[in-house]
Amino acid sequence: MSRYLLFNKPFQVLTQFTDDRGRSTLADYIRVPDIYGAGRLDYDSEGLLLLTDNGALIHRMMHPLFKITKTYLAQVEGQVTPAHLEQLSQGVILNDGPCAPCRAEAIEPPLWLWPRTPPIRSRRLIPTSWISLTLTEGRNRQVRRMTAAVGLPTLRLIRSELANLSVSGLIPGEFEELTEESLLDNGINCNTKKGAPKVPRSAQGASTKRSGRPPQRNRPPQPQNQRGGKTRPGNR
């Protein structure tokens, strides 16, 4: 039976279990064998990462044609304007091609958001502001490149939602184990067969044939103090 872990990745943690340079990895927080991240989350980004041993789900989460939504909160340098939001929502052009349209909103930082350690750099004369971006793509460092393309460098980046799953309530370094039923209830189907989704006949032309809430919460293993089935993350 497959396992599904929803993890709140802290800042400067690699989304892998080993590193030959001595950086912090998932192994510092999770001791479940043979699971892998369903998608990427950069070393210097924070927030939701789904880990599983279900290869079909990993494929589904990473394939853009399945359109699994991912919402990011970005603290940017500069003041967000309606023109910035219009550019982002229409899809900016990056060096590896145009981005798909997305939802872009100016927001206030949520009350549940934890402080980052270390904090972001601040400049006395340059304001910062927050944007919420909801994408169905997952290119390398895409959100950072998108905000930079419109003149708003990202200072801090948190993945706050995967489909309908939210990071709210998970502290950094904490994970919760999910069932297939709870994932399905939150918009993620674990039973999709591996392979790209079929393209509708209407999208191909007339002469073209068709082509082929969580039950338990756990905290990371260090230190070994446990309370109510949870293991508190170690001081890092």
42 is catalytic: yes
**Which among 19, 42, 53, 185 is annotated as catalytic?**
42
According to DSSP, the β-strands at 46-52 and 154-162 are parallel
What span, in angstroms and rounded, lies between the C-alpha atoms of 75 and 201? 42
What span, in angstroms and rounded, lies between the C-alpha atoms of 102 and 134? 6
DSSP 120: P
Burial 169-187 (b: 16+ CB within 10 A, else e): ebebbbbbbbbbebbeebe
What span, in angstroms and rounded, lies between the C-alpha atoms of 26 and 206? 49
Nearest to 66 by CA among 208, 205, 187: 187
Helix intervals (H) in 150-229: 180-185
**Residue 158 forms beta bridges with which residues?**
46, 73
**Length in residues, the chain:** 236
Burial 110-134 (b: 16+ CB within 10 A, else e): eeebeebeeeeeeeeeeebbbbbbe
The contacts of residue 141 (CB under 8 Å, 6+ apart) are 42
The contacts of residue 96 (CB under 8 Å, 6+ apart) are 139
What span, in angstroms and rounded, lies between the C-alpha atoms of 46 and 93? 25
Residues with catalytic function: 42
